[in-house]
Structure 1
Amino acid sequence: MIERAERRAGMTADTERELRGAGLDPEQVRRIIENALVEDLGPDRLDVTSVATIPATQTDTADLVARAGGVVAGLAVAAAVFELAGEVTGMGRTVEVSSVARDGERVARGDVLATVTGPTRVLLTAERTALNLLCRMSGVATHTRAWADALAGTKAMVLDTRKTTPGLRALEKYAVRAGGGTNKRMGLHDVAMIKDNHKYAAGGITAAYRRVREAFPDVPVQVEVDTLAEAVEAVEAGAKFLLLDNMSPATLAAVVAAVGDRAELEATGGLTLADAATVGATGVDFLSVGALTHSSPILDIALDLRTE
């Protein structure tokens, strides 16, 4: 059985403050972490290997170390995992986390990102969950930075989409911001996006736009268009934000010339890093890239227990 400590550990005020500063809700992050830890620990909330091999009183220090170069994101989230692991497991003793790097920074292979000190059982129990989240978020930030760099010299910014991992949207969208990108909408509730199926069901762009404006007059509206003619129709209906779907650079430039500053313009569909600068040079305001969150490889990061 696990020895139960009298005092429960938990997320520190400093970590909560860092999460809020990153635009993250500490309680939402807590729920994500608790669910992830319980998924790993099972119904008894037990790490059988660590409990069997490590005395409850043993403490150690470990470093979070980059195994590859990239952009780091999620250090406060990782800190919260270590801080909450004692509470979730009932081991209860506090882990101290000290960050060396900062979110949004480029790191190199071998760089120490943070140091954690505390009960060895808690460190090793929290290890995989902390790394799963930190590696994932840093991978998204690294991929996003590549797009932001490719668009340097143009006014265009790279946007994310709703193609996120279920349950991790807030973390992944934060990672996009840390990587130099920007967020479009969090979900179906904060921006109305009139896509092709909405247009067809409503009887056209103008009818769909008017229905949204009548039903939700204060909600921002974006209209997906496939041709120059549709772009002009949407703007004349009142749209201030157009999603330009699968258009060639030449067509994008034509839409920019026709629409001018009457609407913000977002290019999307089949975009690649190799084409990013060309698309950005057309004068569009944004490139939306679902791959930022649905296809980014992780940034390899490890937890190394100090042995000296």
Structure 2
Amino acid sequence: MFHFLVDELFKIAILEDVGIGDITSEIIIPQKSIAIAEIICKENMILAGIPFLKRFFSILSKYMESSNFFLKENYNDGDFIEKGSVIASLKGNARFLLAGERTALNLLQRLSGIATFTREFVKKVEDLPVKILDTRKTTPGLRFMEKYAVKIGGGSNHRFALYDAILIKDNHIKIAGSVEDAVIKAKKNNIYHKIEVEVKNIEELEKAIRAGADIVMLDNMDVETMKKAVEIAKDKVLIEASGGVNLDNIREIALTGVDFISIGALTHSAKAVDISMKIREVL
């Protein structure tokens, strides 16, 4: 399913950026001109997105009816790349290369930015037994690729969507009536999934444990309260910390003994890295 979604997304991106054609290239570049280009990183980064880059150009080649395109990557996803390095070399119709340039770079910049940002968090706690998780705070339509980039950066994926895991949040609890009622209803009507519930204080944590939750998310708790929560939850439920996590406080949070730390910023606040494409030779 995800491969189909990616292909459809790329088709939409091509219609958005190329549309009926690149009018600048059509009036300047000879129709049969062949060129060699390089994709260059302009800052240190963790690379992510090469498989999607290849797929994008494959879709574009069908759209523009352009054949004889070649792409040679010099690095693999997950590699640390230093500023100035050539990520990949491309050869093909010059109009084709220029038509694909912006979307291809946007893709690599976004995904590599997420992977690079994720790696910063992971390195802060790499010696501790805690998993760094992403969230559903992703760009609509790009979730599959953005969560892929988190994994490339060394993080792990939380639930992908509403349909693949039970996570009882504050609004569910409000409608259900209480933490206990929400968890009990979930257990009664579910036989496949572990039950995770969000709590805001120690009292709600204790209620979630008594009701039979499998995982408890500590929502925006201070570090001292987290420590107490971990002591109470030991050997009873797994604990996830969430809310307000940043590079300055993640290690202190991890040292409380939580099992997971989820960070929406991995995808919603990652800065795109700087990558460019340069035509090196015209054949």
* TM-score computed with the length of structure 2 as normaliser: 0.96
2:13 aligned with 1:58, yes or no? Answer: no
1:108-138 residue CA offsets vs partner (Å, 9 max, x unmatched): 1111111111111111100101111110000
Q: Which residue of 2 aligns with 1:17?
A: none
Residues 136-145 or 251-260, more deviating: 251-260
Q: CA deviation at 1:271?
A: 1.3
Contact 2:219-2:243 within 8 A present in 1 as well:
yes
CA contact (8 A) 1:206 1:237 kept: yes
Matches for 1:1-308 after TM superposition, within 5 Å: 25-42=2-19, 44=20, 46-89=21-64, 91-307=65-281
Q: Distance in 2 between matches of 1:253 and 1:130?
A: 45
1:178-230 Cα offsets, whole Å, 9 max, x none, are: 00101101111111211111112111111111222233321332100111221
- Return the offset for 1:25: 3.6
Q: Is the 8 A contact 2:132 2:262 kept in 1?
A: yes
2:261 partner SS: strand
**Which amino acid counterpart does residue 49 of structure 2 have in structure 1?**
G
Kindly indicate whether structure 1 or structure 2 has the higher relative contact order, using CA contacts under 8 Å at least 6 residues apart: 2
Instruction: Give the AA of the match of 1:136.
Output: R
Flag as ranges the 4+ runs of structure 1 deviating above 3 A. none
**Which shows bigger deviation, 213-222 or 241-250?**
213-222
Q: Retained in 2: the 8 A contact 1:162–1:186?
A: yes
Q: Is the 8 A contact 2:66 2:93 kept in 1?
A: no
Q: Check the 8 A contact 2:215/2:239 in 1, yes or no.
A: yes
Distance 2:86 2:236 in 1: 48
Does the CA contact (< 8 Å) of 2:198 and 2:219 recur in 1? yes
SS at match of 1:174: helix
Q: Secondary structure at the match of 2:281?
A: coil
Say whether the 8 Å CA contact 2:47–2:78 is kept in structure 1: yes
**Residue identity in the other structure for 2:5:** Q
Aligned AA (1:158): I
Give SS of 1:307's match: strand
Length, aligned pairs only: 282
Of all paired residues, the percent bearing the same amino acid is: 37
**CA spacing shift, 1:216–1:88, aligned 2, 3 Å:** farther
8 Å CA contact 1:82–1:122 kept in 2: the answer is: no
- The unaligned stretches of length 5 or more in structure 1 are 1-23
Residue 6 of structure 1 corresponds to: none
> Where in structure 2 are there 5+ consecutive unaligned residues?
none
Contact 1:86 1:94 in 2 (8 A): no
Looking at structure 2, the residues matched to 299 and 124 of structure 1 have their Cα atoms a distance apart, in angstroms, of 20
Distance 2:103 2:212 in 1: 47
